[in-house]
Structure 1
């Protein structure tokens, strides 16, 4: 039973190939995280431009949006480059939806910490959202990227595509 699970997890890859893929995923994610945090801080606190609505909320919306594009390009061109897709537009839309799901995971962790457990300090918020939420959200995203967004095209679908 365990070996069947491992075979399914590896999806035809060796353990080494899977580990390389996973490390690439983590590297791309770190790059996107740096873009997100760096751009957010530049827009919200260091550039003297007035953003519409709330400065921080608008800055965060912009930084997350750009980091999603950075993550998609990195994962498409490096992490999952060997996985063919019939539609890059569909793939990108699925990628965005998965990232919204990952954000929901982090927000759920924060909500449980604040509203169920009653922890409301800055430290507790950061642990809930940026440690627990980040770890769970990253696991969520990786599984869905691997098995849904960047999943290989089934042989029957790829053989019917024009070349």
Structure 2
């Protein structure tokens, strides 16, 4: 059986992985921006809600659609052992991003006196940009945690388990499952 040794990826490999992740994050985020601005525009012009109420409603709808994109496309390979924890953290950090976005919009409307809808959209774009940077860092660091790499000890145990004599069907199944989980973790 061929064995491989675990090695730390080079800086270039890490940056390539991060850039790919940033592009996918941007695509999910872009779909959220489209939803956000569409709902904002409808609330502001169609329902004639105040700008901050429109922003909060639009952001909440976008948060819901973004979670689906992040969980089931971008971070589908990340640890999902505790969905309750993941969703709670996602909502907390999304709420903080919404406060950043709404704070910039509120400052522009109530302090700077920007009252046209296009000026409010410009303020919303600035707030959304700042909130997006915050969300990207938060989501990848705390919400969608990477599955840890197996240790050398775990790899050795899996190899020993594969070479172990027949110890019963259940024990063999458990050992095969552990070895497969380690193999999949290394493949990622």
Q: What TM-score bracket applies, with the shorter chain setting the length? A: 0.5 to 0.7
The verdict on how the C-alpha distance between 1:139 and 1:84 changes in structure 2, with shifts beyond 3 A counting, is same
Deviation at 1:39, TM superposition (A): 4.4
Residue 140 of structure 2: which of 137, 146, 150 is its match? 146
Instruction: Name the residue aligned to 1:121.
Output: 115
Q: Counterpart of 2:36?
A: 36
Give the Å deviation of 1:14.
2.1
Change (3 A) 1:127 1:34: closer
Higher relative contact order (CA 8 A, sep 6+): 1
Q: Greater CA radius of gyration, 1 or 2?
A: 2
Which TM-score applies when normalising by structure 1? 0.67
CA offsets per residue over residues 30-58 of structure 1, 9 Å max, x none?
11222233345567767xxxxxxx76478
Q: Indicate if the aligned counterparts of 1:106 and 1:137 stay in contact, CA closer than 8 A.
A: yes
Q: Give the superposition deviation at 1:92.
A: 1.2
Instruction: Give the C-alpha shift of residue 64 in structure 1.
Output: 3.5
* Structure 2 CA distance for partners of 1:112 and 1:64, relative to 1, 3 Å: closer
Q: Which runs of 5+ in 2 are unaligned?
A: 1-7, 155-177, 179-188
TM-score of the two chains, using structure 2 as the length reference: 0.59
Residues 32-90 of structure 1: per-residue CA shift (max 9 Å, x gap): 222233345567767xxxxxxx7647876654333222111111112122211321122
Paired positions, count: 140
CA contact (8 A) 1:113 1:119 kept: yes
Alignment partner, residue 72 of structure 2: 77
Mean CA deviation greater in 63-72 or 95-104: 63-72
1:145 deviates by 0.3
Name the counterpart of 1:15: 15
State the partner residue of 1:108. Answer: 103
By how many angstroms is 1:138 displaced? 0.3
